[in-house]
A and B are shown apart, each in its own frame.
Chain A
Amino acid sequence: MPPPAAMHFFDELLDEQGRPRPHATELIAGLQALGPEQLVAAGRRRDAIFLQQGITFDATGGAEGGARERPFPLDLVPRILPGEEWRTIKRGLAQRIRALNSFVDDVYHGREIVHAGEVPWSLIVSRASFARAVHGIRPPGGVYCHVSGCDLVRDADGSWKVLEDNVRTPSGISYVLENRVAMTRLVPQLFAHYRVRPVDHYPALLLSALREVAPIADGDPTVVVWTPGRLNAAYFEHAFLARQMGVELVEASDLVVRDDVCFMRTTQGLARVHAIYRRLDDDFIDPLEFRADSLLGVPGLVRAYRAGTVAIANAIGTGVADDKAVYHYVPAMIRYYLGEEPILENVPTYLLEDPEQRSAVLARLDQVVVKPTSESGGMGVFIGPRASDRQLAEQAALIEREPSRWIAQELVRLSTVPSVTSDGTLSPRHVDLRPFGVFGDDINIVPGALTRVALVEGSMIVNSSQGGGSKDTWVLEDGDGGGGEGERERSQPALPTLPDLRQAGWSGQVQQQQQAHAGASTRVPARGSTGDAGAGFK
């Protein structure tokens, strides 16, 4: 293993000399106390528990070529974010989400940002995710991006940058919650010197956000989670969220629209649905408005949405804000809508549609990363420095043929965190960070995140569909809001005085002891006839 210093990556737990950073001292000591054997043993217990609970991921590439179920790969070394650092991330993300939300509202209404000359209209309308069908529709509270999961990375100098926005149907939150539970069960020792902020209130946050946007005057709104079906790679998460929120998990065939109102089919007839947390793309949502061949959609849903009888989260058409080509303009959006300077930077990005930028990029294609604008999950990503000459030539031809399909970004040297290898030793692996935000009345960023980790040494591909794993992410309490510990201790309510636990008293131990002490000479009343049973297993 080459020392981290020689590779010029930023390691989050160890400094340039390989010594633990201040916030990681106790963690590293705890890992050393465990040692390789115990880490390997904990890894085996983890796989057994995950398989037993069905926390699995379908990885392609099994021997038979089909998808194979394997336990979700959780690395046992947590990633630590000190409170101070988290505060910057939290503020930066809230700012960004607010701007993206304003942008979606603007695109489907006044288009002021276009008139102001900040974002070209031709770029917006040419996006596949631009949804003409929802022009002029403003959902309750003006919230479009109810759930967001932007991807952040940390560059070689330790600075945080936004790599991608995701305000369609970001997934991964279930792993954040399950990872935390698993870590407390598998390696409770590591938590000893840290005060880690809990993450398990996420389902409650999401449910209250959905209830807040549900169009209902009085009474309780019905909220559902809509999954494409159990073959979806994220089905585990859909079921997890429905279970945690205590709401129905529906598929398209469970929903029906009558007279612009959405219902679900129940054993007692049709029941009105007020808010839908949908986990499928716009394209499939309603065959009458989007793809006519979609079997996963509910005919008439957009009509009901337009009539304002059902809330859909995230709103239809939000994809226009997290498009990889629109990403370039997000800092401009923040300045335009909020009048603030962006707290989190973008990774330098080049639009290949622009002839000047394109020729500059093509000249140094071996140094940049090229991404298709409309794909997700790391599909079709081209990494210049890793490509052969032939691959470089092919990619150049692809770009020339259809420049608007591609963007180029500077290569980010992702930070590393030590991770457990198969023999139980630690070795640095590249990571990214996906925090989750919920936008209801206000924006809440859950104090934790999905840290995805490339399990292959040197690799920077962290997507779980391509062999990536994950880490539990600890946001520490220090310096992040809240009063001091002392204050809270003082105000803790006094404990009540409870009655003694009742005991069988006369039977059991007391008698057996008496029997044992007294021997056969003493008569023991009440127990005499069965005394042998008691003595039999002393």
Chain B
Amino acid sequence: MLARIARELYWVGRYLARAEHTARMLDGVFQADLQGRPEAGGVLLSWEALLTIMGAGRAVDGEHPGWDGLAAQGVDGRDEALDVLTLDRGQGASVITCVERAREGAAAVRDVISAEMWEAVNTFALTLRAGDLSARMRTGPYSVYQHVKERCALFWGLADRTMLRDDAQAFLLAGDRIESADMMLRMLRVALPPVADEADEADVAAPLLDGHALALLQAVGGYQAYRRAVVAPPNAGPVARFLLFDRGYPNSVASSVEMVHDSLVVADADPRRSPPVLRLSRLSADLDFRHRAGMPDGELVAMFEFVQDELAQVDADVAERYFAGAAGAARGR
């Protein structure tokens, strides 16, 4: 297939996954933020932290100056952060930007995806444009995030039912899964940052991180899956291992890596000599091996970083191997 088409599909997948994960994360943190932060089970995930996750503030193009730092504190700061990450069309990270770009991409590949998929993503963008979204955010962001989650689920459900299982679908899914893994790692890295001070670890940091872990688990919709799969209480260490390693949970990093791998195997003419496929095989085996061998809590943070770096390499490999023609044309502009 055309390198340009493959690239569009890959990015439609990435942008939709980014929109969904951002919505889930904002909804989860918003709900946790409304309640207090007591000694145990509390949440201190700040809005600054969320903006860090999303790398917000970096302008996508010259037109928008970008955004630097929350102007307000407290409730106003929260509303501002929600607006930036949901409604700000100048933000590359905002939900609405992701959806608009997914729609643009889908329009470019309308003949490859099914009509129902195009309609799903088109209606998605149009309903976000229509009506007063800021007002809906004020009365309750829940309804907006619920809408985003439902529309994304609809698109992927239709992809599963109506799209031919060819290399086009493989690129779409590869984009979806690599973005899911990347978002999961971003959230893990911000929710469970390294603890600098040893003395802090026992009394202050541990309950705090446990609270973050629970909030994260609920935000990504994995609480019940965790409860059924893992016996340990939802504390930082076991939750991090679950979200990183557990192949039984479809949104874990290991599951996503495996599915990117499987998709590229379908799409690649010669997978056994393909750098991205080989790199993914190695990463997948590495994740399984570390899981089996048992990984102490202290080493998880380094593991997050390692996996995220590897995935960035995979992304570069994918662009090089499959989209090189299209990218070259763009660079020559």
Contact = CB atoms under 8 A, between A and B. Distances in A.
B55 A208 contact: no
A258 to B, nearest CB: 25
Interface string B50-94: 001111001011010000000000010000000000000000110
Contact of A498 (B190, B223, B234, B329): B190
Top 7 nearest A-B pairs (CB, nearest first) are A246-B227, A506-B330, A526-B329, A185-B142, A195-B36, A191-B34, A504-B11
Contacts of B58: 500-501
Given A501-B92, A506-B327, A506-B330, 17 more contacts: A42-B139, A196-B35, A196-B36, A198-B41, A246-B227, A477-B37, A481-B38, A491-B205, A493-B196, A495-B48, A496-B189, A504-B11, A504-B14, A505-B330, A513-B63, A525-B333, A526-B330
Given A204-B233, A498-B186, A533-B110, A507 B44 contact: no
Contact of B234 (A184, A204, A491, A506): A204
A186 B34 CA distance: 12
B168 to A, nearest CB: 15
A491 B197 contact: yes
A483 B30 CA distance: 24
Interface in A179-218: 180-181, 184-189, 191-192, 195-198, 200-201, 204, 207-208
Interface stretch (B101-109, B154-162, B258-266, B269-277): B101-109
Nearest to B89: A509
A501 B55 contact: yes
A220 B231 contact: yes
Contacts of A487: 204
Nearest to B190: A495
Contacts of A404: none
A477 B329 contact: no
B38 to A, nearest CB: 5
Given A198-B36, A220-B231, A493-B196, A533 B107 contact: yes
A78 to B, nearest CB: 11
A498 B186 CA distance: 7
A481 B39 contact: yes
Contacts of A197: 35-36, 38
Contacts of B234: 204
B164 interface: no
Indicate the member of A493, A509, A534 with the most B CB atoms within 10 Å. A493
Contact of A525 (B15, B38, B205, B330): B330
A500 B55 contact: yes
Contact of B35 (A186, A191, A498, A526): A191
B49 interface: yes
Given A245-B227, A504-B11, A507-B105, A493 B193 contact: yes
Contacts of B200: 491, 493
Contact of A495 (B40, B42, B52): B52
B326 interface: yes
26 contacts: A180-B35, A184-B35, A188-B30, A192-B75, A195-B36, A196-B36, A197-B35, A200-B214, A482-B39, A489-B44, A492-B208, A495-B48, A495-B52, A495-B193, A496-B189, A496-B301, A498-B52, A501-B92, A502-B182, A507-B330, A513-B61, A513-B63, A524-B333, A526-B329, A533-B108, A537-B107
B312 interface: yes
Contacts of A200: 41, 214
Contact of B41 (A38, A45, A184, A201): A201
A185 B31 CA distance: 8
B305 to A, nearest CB: 8
Contacts of A483: 39
Interface of A: 38, 42, 45, 180-181, 184-189, 191-192, 195-198, 200-201, 204, 207-208, 220, 243-246, 447, 476-477, 481-483, 487-489, 491-496, 498-510, 512-513, 524-526, 530, 533-534, 536-537
Contacts of B63: 513
A283 to B, nearest CB: 31
B108 A246 contact: no
B189 A198 contact: no
Given A38-B139, A185-B142, A244-B227, A195 B37 contact: yes
A139 to B, nearest CB: 22
Nearest to A204: B233
Nearest to B35: A198
B308 A499 contact: yes
Contact of A493 (B42, B194, B332): B194
A196 to B, nearest CB: 5
B295 interface: no
Most A CB within 10 A of own CB, among B38, B142, B143, B224? B38
A291 B46 CA distance: 56
A531 to B, nearest CB: 10
A523 to B, nearest CB: 10
A181 B104 CA distance: 36
Contacts of A45: 140, 143
A503 B36 contact: no
Contact of A181 (B31, B103, B182, B229): B31
A246 B228 CA distance: 5
Nearest to A194: B36
Nearest to A499: B312
Contacts of B209: 493
Contacts of B320: none
B322 interface: no
Nearest to A497: B52
A185 to B, nearest CB: 4
